[in-house]
Structure 1
Amino acid sequence: MAQTIRFRRHILASALLALISSASVAAQETEPSTEGKTKATELDTVSVTGSRIKRSEVEGPAPVTIITGEQIKAEGFTTVYEALTTLTEATGSVQNDYDWGQSSVNASPLNLRDLGPGRSLLLINGRRVADYPMPYQGKSNFANYNNIPTGIVERIEVLSGGASAIYGSDAVAGVVNVILKKDIDDDTLRARWGTSTEGGRIVKDISWSGGKHGDKWSLAYTFQYFDRGELLAKDRPFMDSELDRPYRASGPEDRFFGTVYQHPSNGIRLRRADGSFYYAPPEGACASNEGEFYTQARHRYDRNTGTVTEQGAYCAQSAVFRYWGLKNGSKDLSGYLYGNYDFDNGLQAWATVGVWKSTGESNTFMTAWGSENFYDPRIEGGTVALNLAKFFTPGQIGGADNALTRSNELSWDLSTGLRGTMFHDRFDWEFSLGRGEYTVEEKFPSIHEARAAEYFLGPSLGVGPDGSTTIRMPNYDRLWYPISQHDYERIAVVGRKRAESWITQGSFTMSGNLFEGWAGPIGFAGTLEMAKQGYKLHPDPNTLGASPVYYTPFGNVEQGGGERKRYAAGVEFKIPLLKTLTLSTAARYDRYDAVADDAATTWNAGLEWRPFSNLLLRGSYATSFRAPDMHFVYADPSVSIADQTDYLTCIRNGRLNGVCNRDDWLVDNPEISREGSEELKYEEGDSFTYGFVWDIIEGLSFSADYWRINLENQIDDVDADQVLKDEAYCLTGQTPDGSPRVAPPSERLCQIQIARVTRNAAGEVTGVVVGPINRAEQSVSGVDMSSRYRLATDHWGTFNFSLNYTHQRSYRSRQYSGDPFLETRDIDRKPRYKGRASVAWDSGKRWNATIFTDWISGTRSDRYGGCTPFADGFRPEAVNGCTDTDPNSPTYNQKTELVDYYNQDRIYWNASAGYKINDNATINLYVSNIFNKHYQDKWCGGFAYCVADPVGREVAAEFVYKLD
């Protein structure tokens, strides 16, 4: 018979411990003692993220958020990552599936406190995992939260704030510890099917979990199949074309001609190389391309004179982004086993293995090809340079699926260990060894440059009048009319790149009470760790170099690889100073090889004061560090080309018109080389929290905590434009526009930046080296609040209410030491607040239901700080007070208003309901984004920046069956 208990400690800690032990909230009833007082049952000690010392209270000196596996399902989420993004601590944005130049098909990072994905630490059962092998945005490695199957999750503990003194590097913004299931009694089958009500995004999820037990052993297992389809822009007609942008974002030409003015690259065209004229396609040619294109006249409109200049015509696309991938698709298979064995001497052996295999799909555009410049003697006598571009329709490439980038991923993790007690059961100890590997292979469609040039342009017939551009006589029918799939296959290639990462690690931990202190036992924990981690990138060799064989639209191709070792030792103490006051403190030593710094020592301290049995006052201070990411260190040089501005030559020649603009001081396609650096130092930070937890009445608790995180020596890339600006300032002491520089670069930075620029004998820029340096500083602060209320009724069941809210008060940053430490929260369009809340109801019989909502504040509009347009769409400059200063303009000396628009708060509602058919079978229904919200920036000019949620409402049904 279950024992009814009333916890002596505060209700929130009790509720959290109940969640940990049962993954559901059970009714708590009061049982009076013979003296008329409430009886108390002492709680077993448990380990909670943020400390290796076991304790009976979940609440400690720093707040920890806990989400259970069952809670993830009840709140309507299909993946662990979706649930984690609703955490109020996760205020930072990450790369979207539909971002330009997306470098990871099937990976999802988490950005705690908006300090960057690499500055929070992911643990699985308290141990590190292998990084995602391919760099985030081509720069740095990160942890993938997308490969954690929901079926194996017992709970997730999130500590936001510095935790390097316990866990080492990367725990700057916090730690996410995913605790997997270890003790499962029943075999359970789950089958879920869902879809979006607007079409697409079908989800199929099947899992089987269970366990076996013996006198001395136990085994838990979970197997899961997850299949979610890709969502394309054609499934969301309001996002498939430039025509979808709002009228207020249109310029004078758009408004004059009555339609959004199509950019010529979004179609099929033949033009002069300088863009001044487009040669019209034959009549009916555009429409012959499967209806994907139409003939569009090319005009230029001068609003000052009202004149229209005809510039030819081209084949424009009716739905520019029709086959753009809005959400990637994937098919995942995963398996997980955990087993342990108890020996007669009290020793326990355990082992766990997890395997995750996935196939992902993404698309960032339909396949296209653009030519180099050429002369054709049949056009204008061969006196003007030309170029052409061809977009291929699905029929020509053998179906839209052939435009997809596909990834195959395999990650596995094997850990084993022994645990027991020592010194007459005074201390618990555990020794573990583990190995994890992660492999990604990607296949991406591309065009072979040489074959395409031969097919479309024909052979080279010599050199044109400029002495370098070739003469060609293209077959223009191949440009204007559809080509066959066979001909497309002659010029098409499938690029292949591969990457792998790995980690081998071992640790020894012991914890227990050293001795009885004056106010209670002195708790102690110690740990020793050793690890080796590495990664290796294998790009397709045909995509390398400034002039690759294949068409590579996204600049530098990631190359590199390396391996490094880590050694660490740490201690932790919990010291009761008084019966009501406890001090927690920890220190740790970490050493990484292959970095400029030798080692890092971090420490933390926290206080817990319980002046009353229902009130906890707490505070903590922690230092933290982050070792340079491996790709920041080991990236091999990779080369691309991109136009730049020669600021040094501009300044030395007196600045035409007082400024250095690219038109006057253009550097035509210098080589841009990116590479890593072994001279990087550790990023260093600290964090501070203080707050309280108050059990207001029976079942109702409230907590509030202030937090602040500081980060120095932040590592980030310096782009080519900044390198050239720094070079110019270091050699002349002047800026491109002549204004004073608030924080001049240091002597050391000048040496670095000058050395990054290569010039020829004539002083022309031929190359710029870019890459990571220690340069930035950030400080972010805010307040976290949470509340829990549990209401048990006699006839209506049990209700559980929860609320979490974060207000980000400040986000300050600077790029270099000496720069102003500016408040950039609103400037950088960061959220001011974020919240999540739920109401869960359990009838105690057959029915249960959950309503969940999360919200995030609207950020500044994409146009914030600019000027509203005049009636014809012309926008004056904000630096001129939004006044038109052009005396030739029809709106000369007239003024508009500054755009001060904030996007509306984004609020989403989910709901679920379950019905227990019998003791074995349950059916659940889920609705996510009940009100089908998409949220668009009304001033935004391009779809990828406009829509917050392209998916909309999703519905799903699930059948759960427990095997006898």
Structure 2
Amino acid sequence: MAQSHRYRRNVLSSALLLAMLPTLSVAAQEAASSEPTKELDTVTVTGSRIKRAQVEGPAPVNVITADQIKKEGFVTVYDVLTTLTEATGTVEADSQWGSHTPNASGLNLRGMGPNRTLLLVNGRRVADYPLPYGGETNFSNYSNIPAAAVERVEVLTGGASAIYGSDAIAGVVNVILKTNYDGDEFRIRGGSSTEGGRDTWDLSWAGGKTGQQWSVTYALQYNKRDPLFGRDRPAMDDSDDAPYSSWNTEQRKVGFRPTVGLALIDAGSGMRLAPPTGTCEKFGGEYYTADRLTYNYATDTINNTGRLCGMSADYANWLLTGGAENLSGNLYGTWDFANGMQAWSNIAVYHSEALWSTSPPSVYLVDDANGYFIDQQSGSPLIGSRQLTANEVGGMDKLRNTNRELSWDWSAGLRGSFADRFDWNASVGRSYYRVEERQNVVDEQKSYDYFLGPRLGTTADGEAIYDLNEERWWNPITPAAYGQFGTVAVNKAASWVNQASFDVTGDLFEGWAGPIAFAAVVEAAQQGYKLNPDARAGIDFDLQNVDRGGGERTRYSAGVEFQVPLLTSLTATAAARYDRYGSYKAFNSADTLDIGSQKETTWNFGLEWRPLDNLLVRGSYATSFHAPDMHYLLGQPSTAAETSTDQLRCIQSGAYLVNNCGVGNTDVWYQFDVNRRGTPLLKSETGDSWTVGFVWDVMQNLSFTADYWAISLDDMIVDVGSEEILTSEAGCLTGKKINNTTWTNPAGEAYCAGILARVNRDSEGRLVSIERGPFNLANREVKGIDVSGRYRLDTDNWGDFQFGFNYTNQLSTKEQKYDNDPNPERRDRDLRSKLRASVAWQRGNWNANVYADRVGSVPGVRYHWNAADTSTTGGCLPFADGYVPSDSPGLNCHEPATLPNGQPNPNPNAGQSTKRYFGRVGPFITWNFNVGYRISEHAKLNFYVNNAFNAASWNHKDPYKLDYDFAPTRLLSAVGREVAMEYVFTF
């Protein structure tokens, strides 16, 4: 059981332990007295299995307490984790087009990727989020952790595989839940955004009871956040909300082309057939009558391609910020046996339902074979396009999609001690996560049946003939009519992990400078996931994303750790661990997968030197690994349609010589399928990390820490994307790029053979599909510094103050995709620094807190790098008419007077140049304020103002970001200022 060691410790260090572990309050208060030497209970701190009395060890651990989460104004665990200064990497935004995980929240420490940070709950692994991040990797969801049940969160940054195994490349987030809690606390909080929308509610009840031999701790939490859509922020609900500086030549000349609400197009002439008078006005303001103007830059002419019903706000129903209705609970209990052994068990359950949307259901009347149909009455080849409105489908929710999620985690075990010095713990558990994704879509054939009727015949050229029902087409439909062709696509996914472990820790014997401590662990686990997309996807309707794959694998692990005092002031720690992944079983695959197994041995070493009572100098080195994510290995062909430039045909046709390889040239710009398949024979990613720094208790109640760190990763798994495949295919066969520069082979003949095998073309040479997938290719290295400070000031007249700050600066970021690639400094290409700070005040029944975080600037979208990736060349600014010259280093933002074929360049800006652009967006500073008043011994009121100065994506637009939603939304949401009131009652 708990052990005690005598050691010297000053007031602040003891206060840190007190904040982290309230159950040690008596011992910590004693250590804060004038006596120089006191006894403190030992505890396990993330990064080691050996119990210790010191909070600080050889590697830095950031501790966030439940009280800190509340004081700083946060409601969820994920809200506060995103403010960690170590989280310098970005993740998919809620509003991001094409997101595969719209209701999940990942964490990206050190910019190493959300799949390279290990999430633990009470030191145990939990099931991955079932859907793959970006359609590629497995990762952990941090938004399903019930904040009411959390005692503290410990964050270790750096490699920790020698302690915890795979995934701990960038760090470990260990969520410690409440245990042995006595009493009850009820909280109710309600709030809203001052800009409108985004109402929030949070109710929680946490408490516990203890008896002579037993204890039970429970927590129940209900949380509701309304999602925010484009219509809730008028500055972001339409294409023309993009900053004018981002508008292209056509947009500056004729404005934005109206997004189709309702249109009928003659496929032969490209002209829109004008809707009958008054048609657009029948749709309750969702549509307006518009001319679709096009602009020919080469000839400086405007062409009217006919009238249609344009959407009044084309992004009105697109998601800006996610919301959900969540219910979670946690129950923990213990039973003490007479022989000193204790049994324990924990069950946590989470249920969530969220609304989201980026593309509401639409109707497209085309023939699959030809891209149009023949109208019997007019004899014309027609294309119909129709965006359905809320009134037609039966309400706004029918335009949106729903994620329903359920996860639960159960564990139980026995713990005790033997030989009066060793503690042991044996446990088993199962963690399970299920997602049901429901998307509102249109059944293609049923929509044909409703608007076109039966197929009447086929022309001599094989074109389908229909009789368009214009009465239905040009008028609003009813929800009952929508029910004839609207449907719900259901994608299901699940993941799980079954695990058992046994560990032991204690002092082996007394060494020459103190007791030599020891810990050992053995583990066994079975991990699995399964994706079940709707079987109708790609047949009856198209879906935004269709991910397929699934399987199981086993893991066996064993590790050992030692803590050895070398001198009274110098302590060494060392650990080693062996992990074996194998026994793979693929689901729903006709292929025989020869995956084999991954076997990795990792180790670490650390030193703690205390030359003074108030100074710790520390350093650590660790090796780490990341076993290939299961979806990297077992992902089955998952298809998505993509429209892009066929670069090979662009070069072979000569279109690249006249800069005609984009939209409008249907010979080289068209749609094809992109398949993504796992790669069975992947190796583990391997890396190492090291830290060196100090903890200095400068004076009573004042402390600073500073650490320099470095993380490197080899054989990093990356997906070879569609753009690289198209560029490399053209380069392998022609030696050129479409910008008329020379293509360089990055990896020899084998690389070209692998690329060409991934491209499928028809007999005419047009792309049918390409296949992308993961490979062990890249190497990544990051370095930086972390600095933190804490100060407590107690006054007689003004109250008590607590000050704290954390700062991270990522000094270096380098990544090579191929070994022969250049390896330039990439620090400026992403987020470089973060700062968080708070001031807490308490006097009598009043308390207040001021919190601020600063997220450093990020490159603007026009901040490009040259193709060779050897230097930061910057992008090119547009000319006054919106035309942007090539950012190729050779052209240097100069529009040539002649074309590559020697003919005069017809561009109006020929012979002129613009400047390079090195602009960044940000930094972003967010302020939270709250004040509380204790009404009575058991009741308290809190008032919160979060993001008090309205830092939001709609008022921090990127001047050159044309695409929705016009801002770096991975760093800044559209919510803006929020206010809330909270009532707390204890009993």
Inter-partner Cα distance in structure 1 for 2:253 and 2:653: 40
Q: Does 1:300 align with 2:294?
A: yes
Residue 94 (structure 1) shift: 1.0
Match of 1:436 in 2: 431
Structure 2 match to 1:342: 336
Any unmatched runs of 5+ in structure 1?
Answer: 1-5
Contact kept in structure 2, 1:658 and 1:738, CA below 8 Å: no
1:922 to 2:940 alignment: yes
Equivalent position of 1:485 in the other structure: 479
Corresponding residue number in structure 2 for 1:101: 98
Task: Tell me the secondary structure at the aligned position of residue 135 of structure 1.
Answer: coil
| Deviation, structure 1 residue 653 | 7.7
CA–CA distance in structure 2, aligned partners of residues 27 and 573 of structure 1: 26
1:698 CA drift (Å): 1.4
Matched residue of 1:744: which SS?
A: coil
Amino acid at match of 1:898: R
TM-score calculated relative to the size of structure 2: 0.91
**CA shift for structure 1 position 888:** 3.5
- Seen in structure 2, the aligned counterparts of structure 1 residues 459 and 23 have a Cα distance that, compared at 3 Å, is farther
DSSP-derived class of the 1:839 partner = strand
Distance 2:721 2:884 in 1: 29
The Cα of 1:473 is off from its aligned counterpart by: 3.1
Query: What's the counterpart of residue 374 of structure 2?
Result: 376
Letter in 1 for 2:885: P
> Hey, what does 1:3 align to over in structure 2?
none
Shift of 1:136: 1.2
The count of aligned residue pairs is 940
Task: Return the offset for 1:269.
Answer: 1.7
Q: Aligned partner of 2:216: which letter?
A: L
Find the residue that maps to 2:115 and give its secondary structure.
helix
Which residue pairs with 1:457 in the alignment? Answer: 452
Q: How much has 1:364 moved relative to structure 2?
A: 1.6
Spell out the pairing of 1:315-394 with structure 2 (5 A cutoff): 315-372=309-366, 373-376=371-374, 382=380, 385-394=381-390
Structure 2: how far apart are the matches of 1:881 and 1:597? 50
Does residue 1:183 correspond to 2:207, yes or no?
Answer: no
- Classify the secondary structure of the residue corresponding to 2:568: coil
- Which deviates more from structure 2 when the two are superposed, residues 655-664 or residues 329-338? 655-664
Which digits, 9 at most, give the CA deviation of each residue in 1:811-845, with x for residues without a partner?
11122222112322323xx11110100011122x3
Which residue of the partner structure matches residue 601 of structure 1? 601
Letter in 1 for 2:274: A
Q: Whole-Å Cα distance in 1 between the matches of residues 190 and 787 of structure 2? A: 35
Task: Please tell me whether residue 418 in structure 1 is matched to residue 414 in structure 2.
Answer: yes
- Deviation of 1:494 after TM superposition, in Å, equals 1.1
1:576 paired with 2:565, answer yes
Against the structure 1 CA distance between its residues 810 and 263, is the aligned structure 2 distance closer, same or farther, given a 3 Å change threshold? Answer: farther
Cα distance change on mapping 1:363 and 1:523 into 2, 3 Å: same
Offset, 1:40:
3.2
CA drift at 1:377: 5.3
Question: Aligned partners of 1:529, 1:653: CA distance in 2, in Å?
Answer: 60
Does the Cα contact within 8 Å between 2:291 and 2:307 map onto a contact in 1?
A: yes
Query: What do the CA deviations read for 1:312-351 (whole angstroms, capped 9, x no partner)?
Result: 1221112111121212221111111111111111111111
Contact 2:804 2:838 in 1 (8 A): yes
The 3 A distance-change label for structure 1 pair 151 and 793 is same
Query: The residue matched to 1:88 in structure 2 has which SS?
Result: coil
Distance 2:317 2:983 in 1: 34
Alpha carbons 1:451, 1:491 under 8 Å: kept = yes
Question: Which residue matches 1:951?
Answer: 975
Give 1:668 shift: 5.5
Residues in 2 aligned to 1:7 and 1:961: alpha-carbon distance in whole angstroms: 39
TM-score with structure 1 setting the length: 0.93
Per-residue CA distance 1:196-218 (angstroms, 9 max, x = gap): 11121111111111111111111
The equivalent of 1:551 in structure 2 is: 542
Q: Does the CA contact (< 8 Å) of 1:111 and 1:120 recur in 2?
A: yes
Partners of 1:436 and 1:527 lie apart in 2 by: 20
Q: Distance in 1 between matches of 2:102 and 2:877?
A: 38
User: How far apart are 1:703 and its partner, in Å?
Assistant: 1.1
1:628 equivalent in structure 2: 628
Superimposed CA distance per residue, residues 75-124 of structure 1 (whole angstroms, 9 cap, x where no aligned partner): 01111101000000111111111111222232111111111111000000
Offset, 1:500: 1.1
Which residue in the other structure is 2:802 paired with?
800
Distance 1:282 1:664, change over 3 A: closer
SS in structure 2 at match of 1:70: helix
Could you say what secondary structure the match of 1:752 adopts? helix
Offset, 1:765: 4.6
- 1:566 and 2:555 matched: yes
- How far residue 592 of structure 1 moved from its aligned partner, in angstroms, is 0.4
In the TM superposition, what is the alpha-carbon distance from 1:381 to its structure 2 partner?
A: 5.0
CA separation in 2, counterparts of 1:783 and 1:474? 67
State whether residues 848 and 932 of structure 2, in contact with CA within 8 Å, keep that contact through their aligned partners in structure 1: yes
**Counterpart selection for 1:876 from 885, 897, 903:** 885
Q: Does 1:72 align with 2:69?
A: yes
Distance, in Å, in 1 between the alignment partners of 2:659 and 2:510 is 73
Q: How far off is 1:640 after superposition?
A: 4.0
**Who is 2:906 aligned against?**
888
Native 8 Å contact 1:651 1:660 kept in 2: no
SS of 2:21's equivalent in the other structure is helix
The CA RMSD over aligned residues, in Å, is 2.6
Secondary structure (helix, strand or coil) at the match of 2:828 reads coil
Alpha carbons of structure 1 residues 27 and 419: separation in structure 2 relative to 1, 3 Å: closer
Taking the aligned partners of 1:152 and 1:921, their CA distance within structure 2 comes to 20
Give 1:271 deviation, angstroms. 2.1
Q: Distance in 2 between matches of 1:236 and 1:512?
A: 58
Return the offset for 1:896: 2.9
Conserved in 1, the CA contact under 8 Å of 2:405 and 2:433?
yes
Alpha-carbon distance, 1:761 to partner: 6.0
* Aligned mates of 1:524, 1:125 — CA distance in 2: 21
Q: Which residue of 1 aligns with 2:141?
A: 144
Aligned match for 1:253, one of 247, 250, 253 = 250
In structure 1, C-alpha distance between the alignment counterparts of 2:187 and 2:109, rounded to whole Å: 31
Contact 1:131 1:501 in 2 (8 A): yes
Tell me which residue corresponds to 1:933: 951
Percentage of identical aligned residues: 46
Contact 1:7 1:14 in 2 (8 A): no
Structure 2 counterparts to residues 652-671 of structure 1, below 5 A = 657=657, 661=661, 663=665, 666=668, 669-671=671-673
Distance 1:680 1:635, change over 3 A: same
- How much does 1:740 deviate? 4.5
SS of corresponding position for 2:447: helix
SS of the residue 2:415 aligns to: strand
Q: 1:652 to 1:325 in 2, by over 3 A?
A: closer
Letter in 1 for 2:69: I
Change in 2 beyond 3 A, CA 1:254/1:755? closer
Matching residue of 2:870: none
**Deviation (angstroms), 1:251:** 2.5
| 2:245 match: secondary structure | helix
Q: CA deviation at 1:421?
A: 0.9
What pairs up with 1:699-738 in 2 under 5 angstroms?
699-730=701-732
User: Hey, what does 2:574 align to over in structure 1?
Assistant: 585
SS at match of 1:937: coil
> How far is 1:50 from its partner?
0.3
| 2:126 equivalent to 1:115 | no
Deviations 1:459-507 (A, max 9, x none): 3333346x24323331234333212222111110111121111111011
384, 395, 400: which one aligns with 2:396: 400
Cα separation, 2, equivalents of 1:874 and 1:703? 51
Aligned equivalents of 2:643, 2:161: Cα separation in 1: 42
| 2:540 partner amino acid | V
CA positional deviation for 1:32: 11
Are 2:3 and 1:9 aligned? no
One-letter amino acid matched to 1:241:
D
Q: CA deviation at 1:893?
A: 2.9
- 2:198 is aligned to 201
Query: Tell me, what secondary structure is at the counterpart of 1:148?
Result: coil
Quote how far apart the aligned CAs of 1:7 are: 8.9
- 1:641 CA displacement: 4.2
Q: Deviations over 1:642-697 (max 9, x none)?
A: 45655566767888639994648638544433222221110111111111111112
SS state at 1:882 partner: coil
Q: Deviations over 1:530-563 (max 9, x none)?
A: 000111111110004xxx21232x25x1111111
Shift of 1:131: 0.9
Query: What displacement does 1:379 show?
Result: 8.4
Quick one: which amino acid aligns to residue 856 of structure 1? V
Cα distance in 1 for partners of 2:463, 2:11 equals 78
CA distance 1:397–1:7, shift in 2 (3 Å):
farther
Contact 2:374 2:463 in 1 (8 A): no
Structure 2 gaps, min length 5:
1-5, 585-594, 864-873, 898-904
* AA matched with 1:206: L
